[in-house]
């Protein structure tokens, strides 16, 4: 939109806003076939700009059996600018930073198209788990291991999946009990677990640091 | 022409007798610079804000005619291939039309509005997932259609991202570049100011994505750009009067290569003021090689690194001293360190040698620009006396040769600094370097001596001379003008053929010798 200024010249007024109507529709679409795809997207809070996605580890890969949480931040220009995604669950993969969870994927950068959706982007992330691209790595250490010592790579990736991506398979009660046994007060354990979305490892980290 | 030739400086005039071109004494109008010296005949044009559109029209029309394309398709193609029409044509032959277009994102298969009219009047936009009426939908050449609001939003994001020149269709994996007219229309309806910016970006692609065109680097900026038709390694003069090296956009610096000039100007920036002071007031610490200033006291100086040294000989010493002697003071003991210090010192001295001469010629070049006004004053005095001299072309030409030679001489010093310094350390043996350096310095000295002579002749108060003496001076100046020109060319030949051409690893090219200096770019009709 454009406004005519006091002195007669025009200057642009742009209030960039996320297209929340579309995000709502995307969430609905996604929940329709969650049984089939296993891909979930849900808002972190009331604010639709922060979401959390989750994808099942592809069958036949070291990630099989794990559930991977992905933090999604929508920029103001969404869907005309790509969503920002990064793994919240630790994952051992050449194209994902083992430190920060940052993902190296073209459609999240210059190949993004407004016609893509959060779900299609998550499907691409899932496909990346099945088909790593070690020549275009995000994590050089992992990529080197992938190329030079594949056996160890598979082992590490599987171990990380077991350790970090399966934790939430425990029931809430069991998790609470486990953490209480470690010596944290029950109230604090419960609230912390809730705050981190039920991930006991994250909760432990938070309890230890705080 | 000969009275100075008979002097004891014959050495510097060895070219005059046999090598000179004949010139007609009776007609000083003839410019007796050797015509063939104009080696790189690149012709350049000035592109102003107004002529920017006209400048690209020729290239656009060539492509439009050859491939029977619409203007916006031709522009997309040329932007993709960096305005290299020859390359577009070569690729057309090599790969064929389809691949050429596909790579650049040009879709010529026309999906017209008729296509839209066949589908229902209410359409779901795949971006916002809203239902909109057919009138609110825009179809691109590639066949993808979305609602106008989403297109507009997409265009605005892309323009603000600085991607105006290649806004692609919104469909996933569609490589087609959107029609600029449709972009202009949709963006203009929302934000006319941004639409204008979009147009400007498209136009300026001709300058920014084109190896034949460069912005003039003048400060304050004149807003012009220069288009070069021939070799891009050349020096040009913009309509605003600034001369610059087309290849690196810094000041003219031939016979220095662009890399040498870059290194040199950075070095001078770091050094200029300090170097003089440092050499006058400090000595290098024999341990850490930092320059140390003696603030007072005895000759035992202790550097910040803890090393003591003798202020007199610069040699490393211990810390204690008596009235007569300093402990451990022995100049021979720390040979290795001493050599390091000596090397650092030699490097500095070497730099100062070259910088001093570079600066001297640059300064003379600036001072001699006043000579023009002074000489014009003298000429008008003579003319006022109703002298038989009617033509003073020899003064103008002499002045011009003087300033050109000064320019070349001053840049020949940074050239020599790098040519015979560490930049090409591995390219030649010590012996080769010495030989080449001698060869080069001979040329340089000859030019230098003649330039100084030319300078002194031109400064002579010829307005007070008798006509015979003026005539004598005229001959001398004409002669020296031709000699210096010849020597400039020889210096370039030496640099290009004997020095740079023999490098094995590095490749340094220099803007070729131009008798008349940087070429003044022609204006263009807007």
- What does the DSSP assignment read for B45-102? EEE-TTTHHHHHHHHHHHHHHHHT--HHHHHHHHHHTTT-HHHHHHHHHHH-HHHHHH
Residues 6+ away with beta carbon under 8 Å from B287:
B303, B305, B306, B307, B309, B316, B337
Determine which of B124, B128, B129, B142 to mutate to test the interface with A (most A C-beta atoms within 10 Å): B129
pLDDT of residue A5: 35
Whether B41 contacts chain A with CB within 8 A: no
Nearest to B150 by CA among B178, B174, B130, B122: B130
Q: Which residues of A touch B193 (CB under 8 A)?
A: 2, 10-12
Residues 129-158 of B with CB under 8 A from A: 129-130, 150, 153-154, 156-157
- Any idea of the CA torsion for B31, B245, B165, A3, to the nearest 10 degrees? -100
Contact B191 A2 (CB under 8 A): yes
Q: How confident is the model at residue A184 (pLDDT cuts 50, 70, 90)?
A: confident
pLDDT of residue B20: 42
**Helical H segments across A62-149, by residue range:** 118-130, 140-148
Determine which of A3, A114, A117, A121 to mutate to test the interface with B (most B C-beta atoms within 10 Å): A114
Residues 62-81 of A with CB under 8 A from B: 77, 79-81
Determine which of A115, A116, A121 to mutate to test the interface with B (most B C-beta atoms within 10 Å): A115
At B290 the three-state DSSP class reads coil
The H or E element containing residue B300 is strand B300-302
Contact B126 A80 (CB under 8 A): no
d(CA B199, CA B189): 14
d(CA B396, CA A186): 98
B20-31 confidence digits (pLDDT tens): 444 444 444 433
Whether B171 contacts chain A with CB within 8 A: yes
Q: How confident is the model at residue A12 (pLDDT cuts 50, 70, 90)?
A: very low
pLDDT of residue B333: 46
Please report where in the chains the tokens 């040699």 appear, as a residue.
B315
A60-101 confidence digits (pLDDT tens): 999 988 899 999 999 988 899 999 999 999 999 999 988 888
Contact B127 A81 (CB under 8 A): no
Q: Which residues of A touch B194 (CB under 8 A)?
A: 12
Whether A3 contacts chain B with CB within 8 A: no
What are all long-range contacts of B81-84, with beta carbons under 8 Å and residues at least 24 apart?
Answer: B82/B209, B82/B210, B82/B211, B83/B56, B83/B59, B83/B205, B83/B206, B83/B209, B83/B210, B83/B212, B83/B213, B84/B210, B84/B211
pLDDT of residue B142: 86
Please report where in the chains the tokens 């982007």 appear, as a residue.
A121
Whether B172 contacts chain A with CB within 8 A: yes
Q: Which residues of B touch A77 (CB under 8 A)?
A: 153, 157
Residues 88-107 of A with CB under 8 A from B: none
B298: annotated active-site residue: yes
A125-173 confidence digits (pLDDT tens): 999 999 988 887 788 888 888 888 889 999 989 888 888 888 655 566 7
Whether B262 contacts chain A with CB within 8 A: no
At B518, list the tokens.
């940087």
Contact A115 B127 (CB under 8 A): yes
Catalytic residue among B41, B298, B303, B305: B298
Chain A nearest-CA residue for B152: A80
**What are the DSSP E strand ranges found in B140-268?**
145-147, 213-215, 225-228, 235-237, 243-245
The bridge status of strand B225-228 relative to strand B44-47 is antiparallel
Nearest to B314 by CA among B297, B296, B339: B339
Distance to chain A for B128, nearest Cα, Å? 5
Nearest to B417 by CA among B314, B225, B271: B271
Contact A113 B170 (CB under 8 A): yes
Mean pLDDT of chain A: 82
Contact A19 B154 (CB under 8 A): no
At A134, list the tokens.
């070690």
Chain B nearest-CA residue for A107: B172
For residue A162, count other CB atoms closer than 10 A to its CB.
13
Q: Which residues of B touch A105 (CB under 8 A)?
A: none
- Cα of A49 vs its chain's centroid, Å: 14
Whether B170 contacts chain A with CB within 8 A: yes
Q: For chain B, 526 residues long, give each residue's pLDDT as a single digit of tens.
A: 444 444 444 444 444 444 444 444 444 443 333 333 333 445 788 888 888 888 888 889 999 998 888 888 899 999 988 888 888 989 999 988 888 888 888 887 765 666 666 667 788 898 988 888 888 899 888 889 999 999 999 999 999 888 888 899 999 988 899 999 999 999 999 999 999 999 999 988 888 888 889 899 988 888 899 988 878 888 888 888 888 999 888 888 988 888 888 888 888 877 655 666 666 677 777 776 677 777 666 667 777 777 777 776 777 666 665 545 555 555 444 455 556 666 767 777 788 888 888 988 888 888 888 888 888 888 888 887 777 777 888 888 899 899 889 989 999 999 999 888 877 877 888 888 888 899 999 999 999 999 999 988 888 888 888 888 888 888 999 999 999 999 999 999 999 888 888 887 777 888 888 877 777 777 776 5
Q: Which residues of B touch A120 (CB under 8 A)?
A: 172
The closest CB to that of B154, out of A10, A114, A120, belongs to: A114
Q: Give the number of A-B residue pairs with CB atoms closer than 8 Å.
A: 47
At B6, list the tokens.
């008979």
Domain ranges of chain A: 20-167, 171-209
Contact A81 B157 (CB under 8 A): yes
Residue percentage of chain A with pLDDT more than 90: 24
pLDDT of residue B274: 64
State yes or no: cis peptide before A79, omega within 30 of 0: yes
- CATH number for A20-167: choose from 3.40.50.300, 3.40.50.1950, 3.10.110.10, 3.10.180.10: 3.10.110.10
pLDDT of residue A33: 82
């Amino acid at each position: 939109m454009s406004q005519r200024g006091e002195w007669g010249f025009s200057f642009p007024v742009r209030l960039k806003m996320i297209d929340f109507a579309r995000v709502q529709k995307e969430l609905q679409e996604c929940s329709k076939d969650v049984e089939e795809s296993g891909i979930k997207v849900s808002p972190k809070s009331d604010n639709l700009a922060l979401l959390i996605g989750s994808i099942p580890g592809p069958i036949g890969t070291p990630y099989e059996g794990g559930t991977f949480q992905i933090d999604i931040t929508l920029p103001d220009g969404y869907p005309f600018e790509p969503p920002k995604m990064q793994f919240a669950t630790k994952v051992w993969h050449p194209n994902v930073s083992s430190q920060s969870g940052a993902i190296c994927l073209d459609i999240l950068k210059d190949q993004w198209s407004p016609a893509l959706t959060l779900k299609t982007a998550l499907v691409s992330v899932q496909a990346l788990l099945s088909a790593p691209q070690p020549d275009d790595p995000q994590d050089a250490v992992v990529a080197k291991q992938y190329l030079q010592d594949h056996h160890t790579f598979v082992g590490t990736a599987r171990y990380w999946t077991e350790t970090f991506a399966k934790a939430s398979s425990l029931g809430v009660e069991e998790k609470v009990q486990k953490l209480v046994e470690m010596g944290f007060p029950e109230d604090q354990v419960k609230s912390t677990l809730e705050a981190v979305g039920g991930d006991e490892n994250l909760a432990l980290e938070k309890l230890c640091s705080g | 022409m000969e009275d100075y030739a008979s002097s004891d400086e014959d050495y510097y005039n060895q070219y005059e007798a046999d090598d000179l071109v004949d010139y007609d004494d009776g007609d000083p109008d003839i410019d007796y610079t050797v015509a063939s010296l104009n080696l790189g005949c690149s012709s350049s044009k000035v592109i102003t804000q107004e002529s920017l559109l006209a400048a690209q029209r020729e290239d656009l029309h060539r492509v439009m005619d050859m491939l029977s394309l619409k203007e916006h398709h031709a522009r997309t193609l040329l932007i993709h291939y960096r305005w290299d029409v020859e390359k577009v044509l070569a690729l057309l032959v090599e790969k064929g039309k389809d691949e050429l277009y596909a790579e650049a994102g040009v879709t010529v298969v026309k999906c017209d509005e008729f296509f839209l009219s066949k589908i229902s009047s209410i359409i779901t936009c795949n971006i916002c997932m809203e239902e909109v009426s057919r009138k609110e939908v825009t179809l691109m050449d590639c066949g993808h259609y979305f609602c106008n609001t989403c297109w507009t939003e997409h265009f605005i994001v892309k323009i603000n991202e600085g991607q105006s020149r290649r806004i692609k269709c919104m469909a996933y994996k569609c490589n087609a570049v959107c029609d600029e007219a449709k972009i202009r229309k949709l963006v203009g309806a929302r934000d006319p100011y941004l639409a204008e910016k979009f147009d400007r970006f498209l136009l300026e692609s001709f300058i920014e994505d084109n190896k034949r065109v460069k912005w003039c680097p003048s400060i304050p900026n004149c807003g012009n750009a220069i288009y070069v038709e021939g070799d891009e390694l050349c020096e040009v003069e913009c309509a605003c009067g600034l001369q610059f090296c087309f290849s690196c956009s810094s000041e003219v610096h031939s016979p220095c290569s662009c890399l040498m000039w870059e290194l040199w100007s950075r070095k001078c920036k770091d050094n200029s003021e300090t170097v003089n002071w440092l050499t006058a007031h400090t000595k290098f610490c024999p341990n850490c090689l930092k320059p140390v200033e003696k603030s007072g006291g005895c000759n035992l100086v202790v550097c910040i690194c803890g090393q003591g040294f003798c202020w007199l000989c610069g040699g490393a010493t211990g810390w204690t001293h008596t009235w007569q002697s300093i402990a451990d003071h022995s100049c021979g003991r720390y040979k290795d360190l001493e050599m390091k210090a000596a090397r650092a010192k030699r490097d500095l001295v070497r730099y100062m040698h070259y910088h001093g001469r570079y600066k001297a010629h640059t300064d003379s070049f600036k001072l001699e620009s006043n000579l023009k006004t002074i000489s014009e004053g003298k000429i008008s005095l003579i003319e006022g006396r109703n002298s038989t001299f009617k033509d003073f072309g020899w003064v103008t030409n002499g002045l011009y040769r003087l300033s050109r030679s000064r320019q070349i001489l001053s840049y020949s010093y940074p050239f020599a600094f790098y040519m015979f310094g560490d930049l090409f350390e591995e390219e030649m043996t010590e012996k080769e370097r010495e030989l080449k350096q001698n060869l080069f310095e001979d040329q340089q000295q000859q030019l230098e001596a003649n330039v100084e002579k030319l300078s002194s002749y031109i400064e002579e108060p010829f307005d007070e001379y008798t006509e015979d003496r003026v005539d004598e001076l005229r001959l001398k100046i004409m002669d020296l003008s031709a000699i210096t020109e010849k020597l400039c060319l020889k210096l370039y030949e030496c640099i290009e053929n004997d020095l740079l051409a023999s490098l094995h690893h590095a490749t340094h090219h220099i803007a070729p010798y131009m008798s008349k200096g940087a070429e003044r770019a022609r204006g263009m009709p807007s």
